[in-house]
A and B are shown apart, each in its own frame.
Chain A
Amino acid sequence: MTTLATLQDILVRDYQVPREQLTPDAALTTLGIDSLGFLELMFKIEDEFQVKIPGDPPTDLTTVHDVVGYIDGLIAGRTAHAAAPKLRAHP
């Protein structure tokens, strides 16, 4: 399955976005994914694609196409983001 197809599945299943709206150039905000929803999506991407987002999630992904490209970068281990220690939510 392609990255796009898997991402589409996540957005249909967990965000109840109609599949026909999930074109590559669809903006995340128009799909009802706000800043917190985006953070949640990053968690799901880590789980579904078995990848690790280094440091803070990127802030420059605005479309489905952007996210697909980012995931492919992670999979290929080609992420441009520098690794940073992950903060834990408990002591």
Chain B
Amino acid sequence: MSGRRVAVTGLGVVTPLGNCISDVFDALEAGRSAVRRLPPALARQLRAPIAATVQFDGAAHFPGAHLRQLDRVSQMALVAAAQAVTDAGIDFASERRERCGVFVGSSLGGVESTDEGYRVLYAPEQGRVKPYTVITAMTSAPAAWIGIEYSLTGPNLTFSTACSSSAVALGEAARRIGGGEADVMLAGGTEAPLSAGVLAAWDAMRTLATEDPIDASASCRPFASTRSGLVLAEGAAFVVLEDWQHALRRGAPIHAELAGYGLTSDVAHITRPTVEGQAAAMRAALDSAQLAPEDVDYINAHGTATLQNDAVETAAIKQVLGARAYAIPVSSTKSMHGHLLGAAGALEFAIAVVALERGLVPPTMHLNSPDPACDLDYVAEGARRGARLRAVMSNSFAFGGTNAALIARSADR
């Protein structure tokens, strides 16, 4: 990043693979998938009634009066953000709060509230729409609540660029720190899309994976010739980003440096990705980190398991890294946690950071049948331990064409 270095000092997650980062990483290391059959109430009308759901009960975290103000998307965001704050060991009471802000990515916002409102309104026995619907459904609610929770009076923004939303949130937050406008940013993503309406809409689009007839958990198969689409998931992931010197001064644990961020737009087609757009984002991230292709040791791919994305992303990685593309591991952890849409970028960046710290490359699961168009090292055999990782990249691309790439660099360099 240009300007001040940006430290990643806190990580927090609420995901289908577990509700703390070490549980998530243990599951990834073991190659455990959270993709499951949906309960019948949600499964109706779906060709493939599968998703990756989170074991999460908001009532365990919030008193009743507050709970009614929070859609699931905000509940998960607040809990993940709290974990990140605890992990960073930061006490905002001793910070200049106007120098601290919140950037959140979310594609769909408070889906449960919207869905409930429509259900009540259009049901034969018409009921009443809840007075809380507007504030629970609005996409900016998670960021607003996090800001309120910690009294952070600096910038508070919500980015909605479909599946790259939270990668954009992290990158933009890092820029605010790099440029000197903020000292500490809570940045992340949250998504709670598993309502009947959203599931049906995705199903109608024919981009969802078909259910594996033998093992539902193996339905998401990035880079495989048998891939059939993405698997929807829910969850939230947050990081505390901090000016490097600020982190050093308060003796904070530094997981990694958020060293690079690239942002480009395809402007080609509303859903179809382009090699040029994705490659340009990766190149821009390398440039901003002042790194060469040889410096990248692992890529956490966008790897949605759609026919289009995986072939295009593979071609884009090869265009940017050249021969280096074949020499490094590239994996899609979506094969296990599914696609968290607007929260995917933040979660996968957090995973890339832990990979860097632990020297452990998570695998791409269920890749038994290679696709000639996808010919990189996808770590299909299982997690790779003892890897020496200096810098890792996390890719996030999106319907609408907003491409984001983030680079984390080892704090020990």
Contact = CB atoms under 8 A, between A and B. Distances in A.
Interface of A: 14-17, 31-34, 36-37, 39-40, 43, 89-90
Contact of A31 (B65, B129, B130, B132): B65
Interface residues of B, number: 14
Given A15-B68, A34-B65, A37-B68, 6 more contacts: A16-B63, A16-B65, A31-B65, A32-B65, A40-B130, A89-B129
A22 to B, nearest CB: 13
Interface SS of B by simple majority = loop
B63, B121, B128, B129 pick with most chain A CB within 10 angstroms: B128
Interface string B65-76: 111110000000
B135 interface: yes
A15 B64 CA distance: 5
Nearest to A39: B131
Contacts of B66: 32
Contacts of B131: 36-37, 39-40, 43
A32 B121 contact: no
A16 B69 CA distance: 13
Contacts of B65: 15-17, 31-34, 37
B63 A36 contact: no
A60 B89 CA distance: 45
A7 B380 CA distance: 60
B71 to A, nearest CB: 14
A32 B66 CA distance: 8
A48 to B, nearest CB: 13
Interface in B107-128: 121, 128
B63, B65, B129, B135 pick with most chain A CB within 10 angstroms: B65
